[in-house]
Each structure stands twice: as C-alpha cells, then as structure tokens.
Chain A
Amino acid sequence: MKLTTLLTTAALTFAATGAWAESEINVMHATAFETAPTAMAGGGFLHIHNTGDSDDVLVDVRADYPRVEIHTTEFTDGVAKMMHVAGIPVPAGEMVVLEPGGYHVMFMGLQGTPFTLGDMIPATLVFEQAGEIDIMFKVIARDAAHGGMDHDSMDHDAMDHDDANHSDMNH
C-alpha cells in the first residue's frame, strides 16, 4: 500500500568525496504531499540508503524556498512537538526513512508557490561524507479516500523495496 503510493525518484548526481570515505548514498521515494494554494509550509519525505561501509550524516537540505530545514516530530502524552535537527545519521549499510510522523524536510515560505500534484521540486541533500546529491521531490496526492498514509507500517527493510528506479551512485 505504502510503496505503491510512493513514487520513486532517482538521485541525479553525486559529488566527489574524500578517498577515505566509502559512503555510498542511494536516495529513493523522494516525495512531498500536495499543499493548499495558500499553504505556507510543506513536508518532504525520502528513503536514504547508505550502501557503503562508512557512516554518514545528512546535514542539510537546500531548495529554492526562503527556509528549508530538517525536522523531526516527537510525541509526549499526545502532544506533538516539531523541532529542527542538526543532522540525521545514516550508518553504513543502513536505510534511514524520513516519513510522516518522524523525520521530514520542512520547506517554509511557500506563499504563492504551493506544491501541486505532479510537480517536481529540485533540492540538494548535503551529506558529511558523500557531499551534495541533487534530487527531485515528486509531489503526490494525499489519498484520504483510501486511508491516507499507512503510518502503522514501520517495516522498512531495504530489500522489500522496488528499487528499479533508483540509481546506484558508485564512484
């Protein structure tokens, strides 16, 4: 259910890294939900797979909006608290998932430029080791009529994903 609603996008480029760094980052399912015409903010979600043997950290996301930050949401007794995080660790060999209810990319200052179904939003992920990776967030619908996001599904085994559409960025 979830995977079929998440369209994949391929990471487009890969910056050179130091000779010691064996971080190999694959980015999949970079998506953002469509927003209302007057929305001021939108969220971006993606899967990051580090297929190398060196830990890495996503330290920044850049895009053409007044402010773009990496956020997470914490819940205490039913109260949601969103907060800016300095980085998201992506350990060697592991998949980190930015998904609704947890880590997300927050695009702020959308006024007048809402996320419209089918739009591709260019962004640059900045990793400590792997450097800059340009990606596109595909704007998808919130499928409320069919249950919206399946936020009970927390199983994100990398091998379960249909990876046909992502590029391996070996170098």
Chain B
Amino acid sequence: MKAVIIGTTTLAIAAGLGFYTWNTSRSAVPCGDTAVAGAAIGGPFELVSETGATVTDTDVITKPTLVYFGYTFCPDVCPLDSARNAAAAYLLADQGHDIGTIFISIDPERDTAQIVGDYTDNFHEDMIGLTGTAAQVDAASKAYRTYYRKQEGDPEYYLVDHSTQTYLMFPETGFATFFKREHTPEQIAQTTACFIDRIG
C-alpha cells in the first residue's frame, strides 16, 4: 500500500488514502496509522485571509482543522461538503472538542477575500476562507496534493474541476487523515475525536 501511494499520481494518492481512511474507520482501530503519508501532505503555505491579510499555515491551523479546497461559484458540491464539515465541527463542539474548518479557494480569479469570507460564514461562523494569488493558491494546492483545473468556456461563468477530499490537519504533527465526500458528519467527528485523543 505504501509503495503504491508513493509511486503514483496525485489522484491515485487521493483514491488510495481515501480507501485507507474508509478501511480504518471501519476497523477495530478507529484512527488508523498516521505514519502512512504524514510527510506527503500539507506543509507551509501563504494565502490571503478574509480580511485581506496574508496568512501562513501556522496562522490558521492553530488547532485540529478540517481543510477543504473548492470555489464559491460551485453551487452544489462545495456547499454540500462545506456544510458537512461545519456539521462535523458542531458535533465535535458538542462533545467538547474545539476544531477549526478552512475553505481554500482554487478559483482566485473570482474568489476575492470578501467573497470567500461571506461564503464560509454561511456554513460556520468560525470557518476560515482563504484565497490568494494564482501562485499562492497553486502552491497550497500542490502542498496538499489536490487537483484543480479551470474548464474552458465562458470567461465569467466558467466551472472548475477539483478534488473533494477534506484533510484533517494538526498544528504540530500536520496531516492526520482525510475524508471522502461519502463520509458523514458523524464519521468525521468520530475519527477526528479519536485523533484528538491520540495526538492531543
């Protein structure tokens, strides 16, 4: 499994890890082995926050955090996944766990700081929306091994293909695991709580 992950493309990494997460979430060990790809995903980034200020990963990942890449012009999948992540955060809050949620735009051309800020407020009052220059967003996406591609077509109403996995990141140890679209708020909350207990 490890060799496969290391040797393949971003998509295969995503699929493989998703399967890994899916598998471990159903096994007797609910969190799984964090060592598998911990070094491969995440790391430093520099983006622009909702206030227009430049921020780094250490500014925004100050507690266990769910990180998702999407764009606000997406009326279907991104809101659904963002609402799901927000729901997981609310569930965890009910259990006494304080986690963060981050939405990183992969459509910096249209997603201004204000638009991303308004968008994330719609899901959770504490969800952090990030955008940036094309180069900043591209670097962040590459660090997290996510895929995005702007579709050809209308200059104003174009669509963007993009990865939909949500990463669970910790301030000190980085990547813990990630979740696929199929994971429910309850599953994410359960797995996240397990990692919090284990990693702290």
8 Å CB contact of B75 from A41, A81, A143: A41
Instruction: List 20 A-B pairs, Cβ < 8 Å.
Output: A34-B122, A36-B118, A36-B121, A36-B122, A41-B157, A42-B75, A75-B164, A75-B181, A77-B12, A77-B14, A78-B163, A78-B181, A79-B14, A80-B161, A82-B76, A100-B77, A106-B76, A147-B184, A149-B83, A152-B182
Could you say which residues of chain A place their CB within 8 Å of the CB of B147? 79
Interface status of A137 (Cβ within 8 A of chain B): no
Interface size class of A (residues with CB under 8 A): 35 or more
Interface status of B6 (Cβ within 8 A of chain A): no
Least CB distance from A14 to B in Å reads 28
Contact of A78 with B75 in the complex, beta carbons under 8 Å:
no
Interface status of A146 (Cβ within 8 A of chain B): yes
Interface status of B110 (Cβ within 8 A of chain A): yes
Interface residues of A (CB under 8 A from B): 33-43, 66-67, 71, 73, 75-83, 100-101, 104, 106-109, 142-149, 151-152
How far is B14's CA from A113's CA once the two chains are assembled, in angstroms?
Answer: 37
| B 67-81 binary contact with A (CB < 8 Å = 1; else 0) | 000001111110110
| B 158-181 binary contact with A (CB < 8 Å = 1; else 0) | 010111110000000000000011
8 Å CB contact of A82 from B15, B74, B84, B121: B74
